[in-house]
Structure 1
Amino acid sequence: MLISVLFIQEAIKGVVSEFQVPEHQDAKLEKYQFQWLYTNGLLGIIFSLGLLYTALKSRRARSWWYGTGWFRSFIADYGVPLMVVVWTAMSFSVPSKVPSGVPRRLFSPLPWESASTQHWTVIKDMGRVPPLYIFAAFIPAVMIAGLYFFDHSVASQMAQQKEFNLKNPSAYHYDILLLGFMTLLCGLIGLPPSNGVLPQSPMHTKSLAVLKGQVIRRKMVESAKESIKQKASDSEIYGKMQAVFIEMDKSPETAVVKELEDLKKVVLKGENEGEIKKETFDPEKHIDAYLPVRVNEQRVSNLLQSLLVAASVCAMPAIKLIPTSVLWGYFSYMAIDSLPGNQFWERMLLLFITPTRRYKVLEHVHASFVESVPYRFMAMFTLFQFIYLLICFGVTWIPIAGILFPLPFFLLIIIRQYILPKLILPNYLRELDAAEYEELTGAFPRTSLSFSSREMDISRLENEADAVERFDAELLDELTTSRGELKLRTVSFSEERKGQVYPKDIVEEE
Structure 2
Amino acid sequence: MLIVGVAEPTIIMYTYLYNFSMERPELGKELYLAWTSWVCLWTAVMLVLLAIFNACVIINRFTRIAGELFGMLITVLFLQEAIKGVVSEFHMPEGGESHGETHQFHWLYTNGLLAVIFSFGVLYTSLMTRNARSWRYGTGWLRSLIADYGVPLMVLVWTALSYTVPRKVDSGVPRRLHCPLLWEPESLYHWTVVKDMGRVPPLYIFAAIIPASMIAGLYFFDHSVASQLAQQKEFNLKKPSAYHWDILILGITTFVCGLLGLPPSNGVLPQSPMHTKSLAVLNKQMIRKKMVKSVKEGMKQKASQSEIYGRMEAVFIELDASPAHDSADKELRNLKEAMMKDEGGNNGKEKFDPEKHIDAYLPVRVNEQRMSNLLQSILVAIPMFIVPVIRMIPTSVLWGYFAYMAIDSLEGCQFWERILLLFITPSRRYKVLETLHASYLELVPFKAILLFTLFQIAYFIICFGVTWIPLAGILFPVPFFLLISIRQHVLPKFFQPEHLQELDAAEYEEIIGTPRKVSLQVHLSIGLFRVSTIGDTKATYACMHVCRNEGKRVGSGLDPSK
For 2:491 and 2:311, how far apart are their aligned partners in 1?
48
Q: Given the alignment of the two structures, is residue 260 of structure 1 paired with residue 260 of structure 2, yes or no?
A: no
Matches within 5 A, 1:64-463: 64-197=135-268, 201-209=272-280, 210=282, 212=284, 246=313, 249=316, 251=318, 258=325, 260-261=327-328, 263=330, 292-436=363-507, 438=510, 439-444=512-517
For 2:489 and 2:473, how far apart are their aligned partners in 1?
27
Structure 2: which 5+ residue stretches go unaligned? 1-71, 293-305, 335-357, 524-541, 552-562
Note the alpha carbon deviations across 1:279-335, whole angstroms, 9 max, x for none: xxxxxxxx9999632222222232122112212111010011011111111111111
Q: What displacement does 1:99 show?
A: 0.5
Note the alpha carbon deviations across 1:163-219, whole angstroms, 9 max, x for none: 222223333222211111111222222222232415873332233222657x97xx9
Q: What displacement does 1:29 show?
A: 7.1
Equivalent of 1:22 in 86, 93, 112: 93
Counterpart residue identity of residue 41, structure 1? G
**Normalized against structure 1, the TM-score is what?**
0.73
For 1:44 and 1:125, how far apart are their aligned partners in 2?
38
Equivalent of 1:38 in 103, 109, 112: 109
Counterpart residue identity of residue 192, structure 1? P
For 2:367 and 2:134, how far apart are their aligned partners in 1?
24
Q: What displacement does 1:252 show?
A: 5.6
Cα RMSD of the aligned pairs, angstroms, is: 3.6
Counterpart contact for 1:364–1:441, Cα < 8 Å? yes
For 1:10 and 1:128, how far apart are their aligned partners in 2?
32
Q: What displacement does 1:135 show?
A: 3.2
For 1:11 and 1:240, how far apart are their aligned partners in 2?
62
Q: What displacement does 1:460 show?
A: 7.0
Counterpart residue identity of residue 418, structure 1? H
Counterpart residue identity of residue 516, structure 2? A
1:39–1:409 distance in 2 versus 1, CA, 3 Å: same
Counterpart residue identity of residue 387, structure 1? A
For the residue of structure 1 that corresponds to 2:272, the secondary structure is helix
Q: What displacement does 1:240 show?
A: 12
For 1:60 and 1:259, how far apart are their aligned partners in 2?
36
Counterpart contact for 2:284–2:362, Cα < 8 Å? no
Structure 1: which 5+ residue stretches go unaligned? 221-238, 268-286, 446-456, 462-490, 498-510
For 1:196 and 1:291, how far apart are their aligned partners in 2?
31
Counterpart contact for 1:11–1:329, Cα < 8 Å? yes
Counterpart residue identity of residue 325, structure 2? K
1:200–1:7 distance in 2 versus 1, CA, 3 Å: farther
State, as a whole percentage, how many aligned pairs show the same letter: 66
Counterpart contact for 1:120–1:190, Cα < 8 Å? yes
1:31–1:434 distance in 2 versus 1, CA, 3 Å: farther
Counterpart contact for 2:158–2:397, Cα < 8 Å? yes
Counterpart residue identity of residue 222, structure 2? D
Residue 81 of structure 2 corresponds to 10
Q: What displacement does 1:358 show?
A: 1.5
Q: What displacement does 1:82 show?
A: 1.0
1:329–1:249 distance in 2 versus 1, CA, 3 Å: farther
Number of residue pairs matched? 418
1:108–1:415 distance in 2 versus 1, CA, 3 Å: same
Counterpart residue identity of residue 93, structure 1? T
Q: What displacement does 1:30 show?
A: 6.8
Counterpart residue identity of residue 327, structure 2? L
For 1:200 and 1:253, how far apart are their aligned partners in 2?
22
**Which has more helix, going by share of residues?**
2
Counterpart contact for 1:260–1:290, Cα < 8 Å? no
For 2:470 and 2:419, how far apart are their aligned partners in 1?
30
Counterpart contact for 1:363–1:442, Cα < 8 Å? yes
1:243–1:366 distance in 2 versus 1, CA, 3 Å: farther
1:262–1:248 distance in 2 versus 1, CA, 3 Å: closer
Counterpart contact for 2:230–2:271, Cα < 8 Å? no
Shifted more, 306-315 versus 341-350: the winner is: 306-315
For 1:313 and 1:326, how far apart are their aligned partners in 2?
19
For 1:431 and 1:148, how far apart are their aligned partners in 2?
27
Note the alpha carbon deviations across 1:431-455, whole angstroms, 9 max, x for none: 111211643232349xxxxxxxxxx
Counterpart contact for 1:31–1:102, Cα < 8 Å? no
